[in-house]
Structure 1
């Protein structure tokens, strides 16, 4: 499939993200250009086309069978990003209309028309050179947006950044709001990021305390150590799963069987409503901290803290 290879190479050249350099995306472009493997690139067109017709074209001309229920996949993985990169445009009708369709933009069609002789040679494919001059590469746009959306956080005096999302927002609150209030002077020994499980790990101190990480899935989200009290805080940041349930406490207790320090189990939530959602799953003899009310703790510890104020 020479044309499939050509279009995949073109998608790389114009700076599409890795996920949009796939066979599915390249075949979608060929379908939108109405190009079979034996056609010349100058035969390419940019007539309006629906995703159903894209699927039929690919099946008929390239022998790849995408089921009808992959339409949403094609929309999300190909069309959405193609439109953001100015490769295609839609016809502006309601998205739930059977007449909703897409076509190649005139400028991207010109790039394809010039591929017969010049391929990706910028000195000869004037349309490709012009396209790159007028449009920022989508991979750069996405990288820039991702960088801007990162959440800065200080860990033991050094600057790091979390990926965006409510789970990491809560972890940031644990380090910046919970720790100064309820673990003053503590240092962070471990914290993961939703896209990088071991974003920060003080393996040397963890080993000295008797905690050797062998199965990362058993690690809590945040581990703090308060040296003056010799307390080790195991903290779960709960957004959708994973509170300090009896099973979770058991697993962490087994993992930390060599630890001599005092161990404190904490479940952290962003909001009180989120706490209520998981309250029946929480183990006794654990603590709860809610970021929305950072100055208070909920102690699931019987009469340990009972008494007049």
Structure 2
């Protein structure tokens, strides 16, 4: 059987970030140069679904620029035979050191391309076997056809994403795309009571909208917005009637958080009330230890009960730089939530030890 055509490396490099857009988990592993070269080697070896040709990670590290440009059938088959031989000769200009096969295997293939269903794994091969066992998904491989361009390429990519990415991944992709688009214009926000306000354009407003419209109804019983501000301490919403009814004093001259949510819980009288101080992080400014202490002191002074306080830092996505930059700063006893994964919340537990041995938290 004749080996498949080899897609140019530059095409692979160009299209990977388009295929794997913001929101894909471990995206950094599958849009980097190592991923492009891994895919190129699969093409070079003819390892595409249905061909019964496969590669192993060491072949990626053994490839060189000189070899990569020799794309005739004989050169490719000779290289495959040599790269699989126990007496193989590694060229001086190999792409990577021999010990780089671990990140090729573990990060690029196992954590990146396989979960996205861009690469398939040969069945019946033991985990410890040195036999080649990785190949490109046929539909994924077709996305790198140089003749596929413009609108036809866009449609092909969208169809592949819909058919192969998980529902969770597609939800994250859609949210990230919507966020990028909305961030350019005024951001309309619908409050729990049905009232609508507009926030200034920007990523912070996109995240704030998600906190109010998605987080609040999902994680709170009877949510309402007590306070909403934008950068520069511009007050967008301030519910004086609710604050007075609950005996709370909100001093706008103090460093209040971006959002204050109130959950009246099951008790409309407020005895079961929960106050959620929320910081929206588009670049920096999470609820760290110092911020939590300051907000707690301010809340106690204003008449809040410490037992009814919660602290939330909201992000767009945990794969983004803002989350990675600030995760180590988050205060114990606070929560973190990402708009791209709305059904999940992270708790930085600060209470007594809880045993995990029986599979439950008590």
Question: TM-score scaled by structure 2?
Answer: 0.42
Question: TM-score scaled by structure 1?
Answer: 0.49
When Rg is computed on C-alpha atoms for both structures, the one with the higher figure is: 1
Structure with a larger share of its residues in strand: 1
